[in-house]
Amino acid sequence: MTFEPISSVFDAPSGSEISVRGWIHRHRSSGAIVFAVLRDSSGIVQVTMKKGNLPDEQLEAARSVSLEASVEVRGHICEDRRAPGGREVRATCFRVVGPAEAFPITEYQSEELLLDYRHLWIRSREQTAVMKVKASVLAGARDWLREQDFIEVTPPIFTQNACEGGTTLFKLKYFDRDVFLSQSAQMYLEALIFSLERVYSVTPSFRAEKSRTPRHLTEYWHLELEEAWVDNRGNMEIQEGLVTAMVERVLQERKEELLMLRGDITPLYDIKPPFKRMRYQEAIQRLRDQGFDMEWGRDLGTAEERALTAEETVPVFITNFPKECKAFYMKEDDEDPRTCACADLLAPAGHGEIIGGSERETDIARMLARMEEQGICTGPYEWYLDLRRYGSVPHSGFGLGVERLVRFICGIDHIRDAIPFPRTVSRAYP
C-alpha cells in the first residue's frame, strides 16, 4: 500500500480511493459511526468509519482508539461540507499501528503543564505551524545569502572569549581548564573574512540571562554575518535585504500557518526596504518627549524599544549608540566620535530588537585603548587582535536572533514558543 500525505485528500478527485496514515487528533463516535480527525505533517482530515463499510473488528478498533494513537486508513474521498476543509475520507480499512495511553494533555491546560509535556505538546497545530514558519525563515535566509555570495561557515561553540561580557556567560569544565559556551560567533566569522570575504553562520548562542522576559532564552539560534569591505551603511542594507527575503519566503510558503497563528497577515507585506533609520540621539529625545527619563549613554530597554516602534509599520534601525553602551570591537563613527557606527534593528509595532550590528574597529591601537577603558584583559583576545595585525580590512557584521524574528512574524507572545525545546532560567527539561 502506498500512502499519500493528508493534504492530497483536498487535491485528488472526489470519489477516488486513498490511503493515509497519521495520528488521531480528535475522536468521537455516535451509534454506528465513528468520526476521527487524522493528523500528519501535511495537515488534518476527517475520517468516518461506518458499520458495513469496513469489517466489524476494524470498526471496533476505530471506536476504542485513543487520541494520539498512530493509524492507517484506506477509503474514498467524499465531499462533506461539515468536515474541516469540506472533505472527508470514508474508510474501508482501518488499522492501529501504535496504540496510545490516555494522553496527558487535554483541552485546557496550564502553561506549566504544557512545558512539562513539551515533547508531546510540540505535536499541537500551533507548535507545528511555528516550526514550519521557522524552517521557511531559515531556508529564505540561506537562499538569499547564497545569491549574495555569502559562504556558510561553522564556528566553534566552546570558546575562551567573553564576547558580550562576563555576566551572562555559561562556564564549564573543559578537561583541566574553564571554557564558556559561545554567546556569538562574531569573532570567528571576522577571522574567516580574510579568506572568504562574505560569511555567515547559524549556530546556537548561549546567554545566562537571569531576567525572565518574553524575549530572552538561554539558548537561542543566532544567524550571524560578517562582510569584508562593507561599512555600517552597507551592513544595514544587507540586513534589510535579508529580513525582507526571510519574511517573503514565509509569505510564499506558509500563508495558511500564518493565518492560523496571527489572523491578519497584511502587516507582513509592509516589511520591505527601506526600513526606517533613527539616530540614538533622536530616539532618546523622542523618549524624553514621551516622559521617559533617558540620559545619554543608557542602552534602550524593552519599554523604550516598545515606545519607539509602537506606531511603526516597518522595522526601525537605531543607529549611533554612544560608545559607552556598546562593545569594544565596534568602530567609532568618523562624523560623530561620541558614537559607534552601529545599528540595532527593532521590529515594528512594539516588538523590540531582532538584530544587533556594527562596523568593526580595524585599528589595533584604538582597539587596545577601548579594551583598556572597559577593563578587558587582552589575553584571551590575542588571536583576535592578530586580525588587526595582518591585513586589517574595513568590515561589518551583525547577529539576528532567529526566534526573535519568528516570534515577530508569527505574532506569538513569548519567545519560548518559537523554539521546540525552550531553555530558560527556570527550565532545561524536557
* Stretch touching ligand ATP by CB under 6 A, among 29-37, 125-133, 383-391, 400-408: 400-408
Q: Which CB, 167 or 313, lies closer to ligand ATP?
A: 167
**Cα separation, 125 vs 222, whole angstroms:** 25
Q: In sequence order, which residues have a C-beta less than 8 Å from that of residue 65 and are 6 or more positions away?
A: 24, 27, 36, 71, 96, 99
Binding track, positions 19-48, relative to ligand ATP; x by CB under 6 A: ------------------------------
Give phi and psi for 192, each to the nearest 5.
-80, -15
Q: Which CB, 58 or 319, lies closer to ligand ATP?
A: 319
Interaction between residue 236 and ligand ATP (CB under 6 A): no
Residues recorded for the chain: 430
Q: Within a 13 Å sphere around the CA of 17, how many CA atoms are in the beta-carbon half?
A: 6
**Cα separation, 4 vs 85, whole angstroms:** 17
Strands 87-98 and 43-50: parallel
337: helix, coil or strand? strand
Q: Which CB, 333 or 403, lies closer to ligand ATP?
A: 403
> Closest separation between CB of residue 179 and ligand ATP, Å?
19
Interaction between residue 91 and ligand ATP (CB under 6 A): no
Residue type, 351: H
Torsion of CA 366, 371, 372, 373, to 10 degrees: 90
> Closest separation between CB of residue 425 and ligand ATP, Å?
10
The answer to whether 134 and 126 have CB atoms below 8 angstroms apart is: no
Cα-to-chain-centroid distance, residue 427:
19
Q: Which of 258, 404, 412, 417 binds ligand ATP (CB under 6 A)?
A: 404
Q: In sequence order, which residues have a C-beta less than 8 Å from that of residue 10 and are 6 or more positions away?
A: 43, 45, 85, 86, 87
Q: Which of 21, 401, 408, 410 binds ligand ATP (CB under 6 A)?
A: 401
Strand partners, 158: 181
Interface with ligand ATP (CB under 6 A), residue total 17
> Closest separation between CB of residue 181 and ligand ATP, Å?
12
* Stretch touching ligand ATP by CB under 6 A, among 24-32, 154-162, 212-220, 226-234: 212-220
Binding track, positions 133-172, relative to ligand ATP; x by CB under 6 A: -------------------------------x--------
The answer to whether 247 and 416 have CB atoms below 8 angstroms apart is: no
The answer to whether 404 and 353 have CB atoms below 8 angstroms apart is: yes
**Cα separation, 320 vs 297, whole angstroms:** 11
In the window 339-358, what residues touch ligand ATP (CB under 6 A)? 353-356
* Stretch touching ligand ATP by CB under 6 A, among 13-21, 62-70, 396-404, 421-429: 396-404
Grid coordinates belonging to 48 = 468516518
Q: Which CB, 219 or 332, lies closer to ligand ATP?
A: 219
CA nearest neighbour of 427 among 115, 80, 2, 25: 115
> Closest separation between CB of residue 402 and ligand ATP, Å?
8
> Closest separation between CB of residue 419 and ligand ATP, Å?
9
- Give the DSSP H or E segment for 156: none
The answer to whether 341 and 331 have CB atoms below 8 angstroms apart is: yes
Q: Which of 22, 397, 399, 422 binds ligand ATP (CB under 6 A)?
A: 399
371: helix, coil or strand? helix
Interaction between residue 207 and ligand ATP (CB under 6 A): yes
> Closest separation between CB of residue 292 and ligand ATP, Å?
17
> Closest separation between CB of residue 309 and ligand ATP, Å?
13
Q: Which CB, 46 or 235, lies closer to ligand ATP?
A: 235
CA nearest neighbour of 38 among 76, 89, 2: 89
Q: Which of 25, 216, 254, 351 binds ligand ATP (CB under 6 A)?
A: 216
Q: Which CB, 5 or 322, lies closer to ligand ATP?
A: 322
Catalog residues that contact ligand ATP under the rule CB under 6 A.
164, 207, 209, 216-217, 220, 222, 353-356, 399-401, 403-404, 415
